[in-house]
């Protein structure tokens, strides 16, 4: 019996089952489309493979360090230190999962177990982890290799007092789904069973947590301007719905645009929920809307425009009343000012006439 679309997507991407379900619903069961969307998520996981030899101690180490580049946290640490010299001949260009299997099947020598434990403790501390991540994010390959030799050389020297250490490194970035393939030996159908009994709120929070750790696809969008019937952009709040068009010309954006437009009654616009709104400067707003799990839209527009939106009627009425009150106060002040000028002019005329009469006497 063939695999279900859901299981196929989970097996091929290692995506969380709830997010996989959401993606398949979003794409109408299109597994390849779901894979395309997932493939565009940011590669925010650093993967560092290390092979080292402590020459005097005759100890050989192999390690995989996975860390989140955006959140500056250690995701997973695998390490073995053994007297088995064959570790030093491992090809670091192999699939990372194969290297993980070598680590799993090469247990730590009890005599050297303290090395891998101390190394993990050091790397997981903010002091060392931030330095490592900053170097991996900013340094070119050659300078990074030199930095890593000095970085790990100092740590292992502190742990073992060994100074004669030989290193080999490999560094790459990957998305969280590729990391999932490394971390998980298998994702089975049993993973789905517990999720079927969860409430909708629990499912939503699972999806939000998953996409928050992954990152987002952000599509460039434009609002539907409506100078007469539209809503002042200044009135919009989080949770309101606005009508937008996708202006992004990337292939993935065009694919998503077709999917989103197909879900609407017409293909002139897409209804999207406002996720956040902020003022960029005195003339511009940036609005982030949400189309689906991990899929956002970005809109930049002026602060004094009107766009098509669905917001509370009560808020619109309050805004109108406030505007009328402001105008009323302005009109009242204006009329008071005119009256005062007229009174002054009348007074001056009376004084002038009195002076003329006095002069004729």
User: What is the residue extent of each domain of the chain?
Assistant: 5-42+181-214, 45-174, 217-311, 313-361
- In this prediction, residue 146 has a pLDDT band, given cuts at 50, 70 and 90, of very high
Specify whether the CB–CB gap between 307 and 229 falls below 8 A: no
- Interacting residues of 316 by C-beta distance below 8 A, sequence separation 6+: 231, 235
pLDDT for residue 326 is more than 50: no
Query: How far is 320 from 333, CA to CA, in rounded Å?
Result: 20
Q: What does the block give as tokens for 309?
A: 């939106």
CA 203, 205, 209, 212 dihedral sign is: positive
Neighbours of 213 (CB within 10 A): 16
Whether the per-residue pLDDT at 319 is higher than 60: the answer is no
What does the block give as tokens for 161?
Answer: 């007092």
> What are the beta bridge partners of residue 305?
none
Residue 52: count other Cβ atoms within 10 Å of its Cβ.
24
What secondary structure does DSSP assign to 208-224, as a single string? Answer: HHHHHHH--EEEEEEE-
Q: Is 216 left (phi over 0), alpha (psi -120 to 50) or beta?
A: beta
Q: Which pLDDT does position 259 carry in this prediction? A: 81
**Neighbour-count burial of 308, counting CB atoms closer than 10 A to its CB (0-12 exposed, 13-18 middle, 19+ buried):** middle
Q: Which residues contact 226 (CB under 8 A, 6 or more apart)?
A: 306, 307, 308
Q: Which of 85, 86, 92, 79 is nearest to 59 (CA)?
A: 85
Q: Are 59 and 112 in contact, with CB atoms under 8 Å apart?
A: yes
**pLDDT, tens digit (0-9, with 9 covering 90-100), for 7-44:** 888 888 877 777 788 788 888 888 888 888 887 777 88
Q: What is the β-pairing status of strands 295-302 and 217-223?
A: parallel
Q: Which of 120-129, 171-180, 209-218, 253-262 has the highest mean pLDDT?
A: 120-129
Within 8 A by CB and 6+ apart from 5, the residues are: 24, 29, 31
Q: How far apart are CA 201 and CA 208, in angstroms?
A: 10
**Is 46:131 a contact under the CB 8 Å cutoff?**
no
Q: Which of 52-61, 329-338, 348-357 shows the lowest mean pLDDT across its residues?
A: 329-338
Q: DSSP alpha helices (H): ranges in the chain?
A: 5-13, 17-26, 31-39, 96-104, 113-124, 126-138, 141-160, 176-183, 190-195, 200-214, 251-262, 313-360
Out of 122-131, 147-156, 207-216, least confident range: 207-216
Query: What's the pLDDT score for residue 152?
Result: 96
CB 285 within 8 A of CB 279: yes
How many other C-beta atoms are found inside a 10 Å radius of the C-beta of residue 130? 11
- What pLDDT, in 10s, does the model give residues 260-291? 877 766 667 888 899 899 988 888 999 999 88
* pLDDT above 60: residue 316: no
Which pLDDT band holds residue 166 (cuts at 50, 70, 90)?
A: very high
What is the distance between the alpha carbons of residues 335 and 337, in angstroms, rounded to a whole number?
A: 5
Q: Give the closest residue to 286 by CA, choosing from 274, 269, 272, 294.
A: 274
pLDDT in tens, 183-215: 875 434 334 444 444 455 554 444 444 444 455
Of the chain, the percentage scoring pLDDT greater than 90 comes to 34
Whole-number Å distance between alpha carbons of 146 and 149? 5
């Amino acid at each position: 019996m063939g695999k279900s679309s859901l299981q196929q997507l989970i097996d091929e991407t290692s995506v969380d089952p709830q997010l996989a379900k959401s993606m398949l619903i979003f794409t109408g069961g299109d597994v390849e489309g779901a894979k395309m969307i997932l493939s565009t998520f940011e590669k925010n996981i650093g993967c560092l493979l290390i092979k080292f030899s402590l020459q005097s101690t005759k100890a050989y180490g192999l390690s995989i360090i996975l860390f989140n580049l955006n959140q500056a946290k250690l995701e997973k640490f695998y390490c073995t230190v053994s007297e088995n010299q064959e570790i030093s001949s491992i090809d670091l260009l192999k699939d990372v999962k194969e290297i993980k299997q070598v680590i799993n099947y090469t247990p730590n020598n009890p005599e050297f177990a303290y090395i891998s434990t101390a190394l993990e403790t050091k790397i997981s501390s903010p002091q060392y982890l931030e330095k490592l991540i900053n170097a991996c994010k900013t340094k070119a390959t050659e300078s990074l290799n030199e930095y890593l030799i000095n970085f790990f050389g100092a740590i292992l020297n502190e742990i073992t007092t060994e100074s004669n250490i030989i290193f080999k490194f490999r560094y790459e970035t990957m998305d969280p789904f590729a990391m999932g393939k490394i971390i998980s030996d298998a994702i089975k159908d049993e993973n789905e069973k517990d999720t079927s009994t969860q409430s909708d709120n629990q499912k939503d929070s699972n999806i939000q947590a998953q996409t928050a750790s992954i990152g987002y696809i952000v599509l460039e969008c434009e609002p539907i301007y409506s100078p007469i019937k539209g809503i002042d952009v200044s009135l919009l709040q989080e949770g309101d719905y606005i009508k937008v068009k996708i202006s992004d010309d990337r292939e993935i954006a065009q694919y998503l645009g077709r999917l989103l437009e197909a879900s609407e009654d017409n293909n002139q616009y897409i209804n999207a929920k406002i996720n956040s709104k902020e003022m960029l400067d005195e003339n511009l707003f940036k609005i982030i809307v949400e189309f689906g799990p991990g899929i956002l839209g970005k809109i930049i527009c002026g602060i004094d425009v009107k766009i098509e939106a669905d917001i509370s009627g009560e808020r619109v009425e309050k805004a109108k009343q406030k505007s009328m009150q402001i105008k009323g106060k302005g009109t009242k002040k204006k009329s008071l000012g005119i009256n005062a000028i007229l009174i002054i002019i009348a007074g001056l005329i009376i004084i002038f006439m009195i002076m003329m009469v006095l002069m004729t006497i």
